[in-house]
Structure 1
Amino acid sequence: MDDRIRITEHAPGQERVLTPHALELLLSLHDFAEARRRELRRLRRTRRAALADGATPTFLPETRHIRDDATWQVAPPAPGLEDRRVEITGPIERKMTINALNSGARVWLADCEDSCSPTWENVIKSQVNLQDAIAGTIAYTSPDGREYRVTAERTPTIVVRPRGWHLDERRILVDGEPMSASLVDFGLHMVHNADALIAAGRGPYLYLPKIESHLEARLWNDVFRATQDMLLIPRGTIRATVLIETISAAFEMEEILYELREHSSGLNAGRWDYLFSIIRAFRFRGDDFVLPDRAALTMTAPFMRAYTEQLVRACHRRGAHAIGGMSAFVPSAKDPAATEVALAQVAQDKRREAGDGFDGSWVAHPGLVAVAQAEFDAVLGEQPHQLARTRDDVVPDGAALIDLTTTPGDITEAGVRLNVEVAIRYMEAWLRGQGAVAIHSLMEDAATAEISRSQVWQWIHVEARTVEGRTVSRDWVKRLVREIAEATPRTEGDRLDEAVALFTEVALRPTYPAFFTLAGTERYLSPLTQPQAIAA
């Protein structure tokens, strides 16, 4: 192994994943991209600071020529990505992988990001399970002896979501500094699975999260070109769908498609992270930028309608798929009445997306696949997509994207309490290595926990008042934290105390951390002996 690269932890399966060839590729990717990644992270911080200081996001004048040029298109749909009407998401945990492959969905998003707690064991295990899934050898026997096998005649096309540009992989050091977590997840997938996917008539397909500008998409495109050259794969074989889940990216959708056009397979309306980004960007702005309870934030809110309709227009104008957002509901056999109501809500949500022109949408549970597919079947019929529906009736409107004043709903005492509870319970599970957690019949992940803790931070900062008349103060929230912690059953090996400390750090202190996952990783999952060299 090159002495420039050092692995600081060990997990089962590591020798199979971190092979000499794999480490050689990771080192090459680091040398190719790290300087630009650092600069792009600096630009992120500058833009975020400007928004926090009162700047208004706008469509970029310097890229107007890209938006005005009606002639360019992205690459045509890649094999296995022509029809994406239902996509199921989840961590690359062994049983969940098998369930996803048997689900009947057209696409499986194999997630290394928001639904995966980035313990070193999970990072390695995800890559092992992904290799086995692609090889067709994955199987699992539960502790109670139940066997899980892939039995579906047609399994979903696999699309991998690596971690975002802002995250470091602190267990792999190059010249003493952490590697990009994005490049680790991407590089390991490429070196182990690209040839097998291509041989099976598919390809190495990706979802790209947390992108904040077209320049970040440009770096990904350059990484794709370089990697394909290194692995002797034809350029354009890699395809990527970008999650539009930050407010700045919403103003650069066509530019992002343009930068990735030889590798693009569309955009996704990443609704939960998008809401998190809105709160984070405008957290200092006062009443006009304060949103109601998380439960009241539906896709029918005018600013969310503007976001989704402009996304469909941008995609279809350029020949790219538009994929709808996550239905996070988890069906429960214990409460059939509540499940029936929730399924009706999921159907209504997917009916709206299909009617708006989306080509497919996300679900978090196999039990939702049939419900979502029925709504898209009703609109698509035998057609694989709606690319011909260009939504010329939609006019790009920057003001509509950031007009939160018409959002219906209230801040309630119950909503504040629920945010605190969900954030603490999720963080406790995340610290134990669980990245997708069912809480109150919803599948929570890092994005939904970010909304919960960010709303609490903002409500405290602006001294928001609940509909009952109580001011959301730091002291009151501290009391809620104590009450929730005391009411939570303790189990051997739980990390509740650390979760409370983490929530306090990211929701109750005067300064606002950009991501709770950064603080959680640095303090609890993979601390370094020396401070991190660069900020998020």
Structure 2
Amino acid sequence: MKYARTLQLDGIEIPEAPIPPEYEKILTPDALLKLRDTVREFRPLLNELRRNRARKRHLRRNGLLPLGFNPETRELRADLSWQALSCPPALTGDLTGARLEFTGPAHSRGGMVNRFASGADFAFECLEDALSPWWDNLMQAQVNLYDVARGQLTHPKKKDVVVGVGGKFAQLEVRPRGLHLDDPRVLVDGIPVPGFLLDFVLHFHHNAKLLYEHGLGPFFYFAKLEGAEDAGWCNSVIEFSQERHNIPCGTTRASILIETLPALFEAAEIVYELKSHIGALNDGRWDKYASDIREQPRNIFPGRSQLTMQTERARAYTLYTSWVCYTRGVPKVGGMEAGIPLSKSDEFNDAELQKFNDEALRKAIANKKIEADPEGLACIGAWVAHPFWVQHLRPLFVHEDKNWKQHARQRFLDVNLQGKEEELTKAMTAVPEGTISVEDLWEGVTAQIEYKESWISGAGAKGIEYRDFANNKLIKILMDDLATDAITDAQHWTWQRLGARIQDSAENAARIEQVLGIHLGDEKSITPELLARLYQEKLKRIRARLGDESYAKSSFGLAAQRSLELATMGDNRFEQYEYVPEYLMPDLLEAERKTWK
């Protein structure tokens, strides 16, 4: 086994994962013992949080606990006198100005160099949805973070290109894995460590003091929180880590992705729990819609193309998170611009640009004229996944009015959402109207198979080509991560479970019957058989694209099999596997172990 050895200290061990020489600066005895101590301190409460999450989900999804705001914290939400604490003067890194965040998987050394040198305000280095958690990916990510914090991150192909944090380069934000996943390759007291703590502690141990001394954080993004209890746990981890590294309280800042429905209803409470360390709130999209479907599994949501940020549900969601931000003194960051140019010249055509500009303008419009749009969200910035967006979108978030934040706060105070929680709950749980077309199904099949194969094989962010079903014509290319797989998996399960119908033209229905050799019937219901045929058709086209030899070496067949299994599970599907990686992790571990031999 390449570089294989057992690394074992008092109470912590890495029993089989390879540790080449470049990882040794990360897996130092001091770092591992700090990880051990942190896990011992916080794993018992995390396990309790996980049990509470599962209990609440079961109650909500069986109608025993209503979806909505927590009545026990009504007074906290009603009290507008409390604010998040401002960043201390020692933090010179700007979390409140115009903020374009260029995101990508942290293990890609070349990609990280490009993000830091792109002109973006922040390089958002992901160890979560955009990174497949192969051992080598996780360790290489830590090596890259170690190097960039010291100003010595070199491009793998251009050794003269060296980047660091801040100054002429971007600032650093790190997104560790969510609270729901363990990492079986590192054991504390014989039990797998929480993935969040492995990612957080190694980065914090090696880099936090250095970043603090330069006024640059450390800055984090936390994902998949489900409420105030989760936020309180995260805050305790931050305080514990700051104390052990002699870093002042409030120096570490964590931006929170509001990407689950339970977290939305507790957005104010999350800010309160993290008020000494909150960096920003960020609106998700696909993960949020996936959570919506899981929380309301008896409802049929339309095709993904109709799940925009303009639905009643999404507008209420983004309005409420903006209101929380501006009444509590917290920056608001808009969600992802995931488009990749169709042309090889890295330019978008006019139609593509217009689509993305409309969404970006809605996020930013309150920065230009507060009164221009009553639903302008006053975001200070957005995420991007392609360098084109850095220069194209950043001017939208530059503030002409130096007092715009005070104006925005007053505007949101004037909106006065106090006393409107019943109305908000209705809007935030409204099932979007729409249809399910042949192309909606086909797009979901494409995303599931292409992405799962990539994730199992070690790539967590993939540029996926979406082609139409009828003619195999290229429609768009999107940089997709695990969130895309989450939404399509949730849709396919509910559609076949609830007997959703395809609502499409007779011509398109006839085409799918002809290609698949199946009769849809008068109801045109989405059945397990229809999904199975669609997966097989996708595999047929992938084989034709790759050739037999390359296809045989791939995991596309396994990806299709797992997609069908998840789509046709029984009624407790989401209680068994809330998140897709919980189901796919054994396949990933088997795939990576083959590379260790």
TM-score by length of structure 2 reads 0.83
SS in 2 for 1:518: helix
Contact 1:346 1:371 in 2 (8 A): no
How far does residue 21 in structure 1 lie from its aligned partner after superposition?
A: 1.0
Q: Name the CA distance, whole Å, in 1 between partners of 2:527 and 2:449.
A: 18
How far does residue 236 in structure 1 lie from its aligned partner after superposition?
A: 1.2
Please say if 1:481 is aligned against 2:535. Answer: yes
Structure 1, unaligned stretches of length 5 or more? 530-536
Contact 1:83 1:384 in 2 (8 A): no
Q: Name the CA distance, whole Å, in 1 between partners of 2:451 and 2:160.
A: 28
Please say if 1:213 is aligned against 2:227. Answer: yes
2:12 maps to what in 1? 5
Structure 1 window deviating more from structure 2 (420-429 vs 84-93): it is 84-93
Structure 1 window deviating more from structure 2 (516-525 vs 414-423): it is 516-525
Q: Deviations over 1:454-474 (max 9, x none)?
A: 111110011000113521101
Residue identity (%):
33
Please say if 1:461 is aligned against 2:469. Answer: no
**Structure 2 counterparts to residues 298-309 of structure 1, below 5 A:** 298-309=308-319
Counterpart of 1:203 (choices 217, 223, 228) is: 217
AA partner of residue 37 (structure 1): L
Q: Which has the larger radius of gyration?
A: 2
SS in 1 for 2:339: coil
AA partner of residue 385 (structure 2): A
Q: Name the CA distance, whole Å, in 1 between partners of 2:244 and 2:58.
A: 38
Contact 2:457 2:592 in 1 (8 A): no
2:579 maps to what in 1? 515
Q: Name the CA distance, whole Å, in 1 between partners of 2:153 and 2:126.
A: 17
Structure having greater relative contact order (Cα 8 Å, sep ≥ 6): 1
Contact 1:75 1:265 in 2 (8 A): no
How far does residue 75 in structure 1 lie from its aligned partner after superposition?
A: 1.6
Counterpart of 2:191 (choices 170, 177, 181) is: 177
1:67 maps to what in 2? 77
SS in 2 for 1:249: helix
AA partner of residue 388 (structure 2): G
AA partner of residue 482 (structure 1): Q
Q: Deviations over 1:264-317 (max 9, x none)?
A: 11211112211110011112x2xxx32211122111111000000100000111
1:362 maps to what in 2? 383
2:565 maps to what in 1? 505
Contact 1:198 1:204 in 2 (8 A): yes
How far does residue 343 in structure 1 lie from its aligned partner after superposition?
A: 2.0
Counterpart of 1:398 (choices 425, 428, 438) is: 425
1:424 maps to what in 2? 449
How far does residue 413 in structure 1 lie from its aligned partner after superposition?
A: 1.3
How far does residue 235 in structure 1 lie from its aligned partner after superposition?
A: 1.2
Q: Name the CA distance, whole Å, in 1 between partners of 2:295 and 2:205.
A: 37
Please say if 1:256 is aligned against 2:310. Answer: no
Contact 1:160 1:206 in 2 (8 A): yes
Contact 1:75 1:263 in 2 (8 A): yes
Counterpart of 1:141 (choices 141, 147, 156) is: 156
Structure 2, unaligned stretches of length 5 or more? 1-7, 366-376, 466-476, 505-522
2:144 maps to what in 1? 129
Q: Name the CA distance, whole Å, in 2 between partners of 1:250 and 1:408.
A: 21
Counterpart of 1:445 (choices 476, 481, 484) is: 481
Contact 1:67 1:255 in 2 (8 A): yes
Contact 1:309 1:394 in 2 (8 A): no
SS in 2 for 1:344: helix
Contact 1:358 1:386 in 2 (8 A): no
Counterpart of 2:92 (choices 54, 79, 83) is: 79
Q: Deviations over 1:501-527 (max 9, x none)?
A: 321232222242211111111333269
2:111 maps to what in 1? 96
Contact 1:213 1:252 in 2 (8 A): yes
Q: Deviations over 1:75-103 (max 9, x none)?
A: 21453213243111111111110111112
Counterpart of 1:156 (choices 155, 167, 170) is: 170
Structure 1 window deviating more from structure 2 (341-350 vs 166-175): it is 341-350
AA partner of residue 508 (structure 1): T
Give the superposed CA RMSD.
2.2
Contact 1:84 1:385 in 2 (8 A): no
Q: Deviations over 1:320-374 (max 9, x none)?
A: 0111111111123338886432222222111101122112211111111122212
Contact 2:346 2:388 in 1 (8 A): no
Structure 1 window deviating more from structure 2 (214-223 vs 363-372): it is 363-372
Please say if 1:495 is aligned against 2:555. Answer: yes
SS in 1 for 2:445: helix
Q: Deviations over 1:380-412 (max 9, x none)?
A: 2374973651212152511111012xx343211
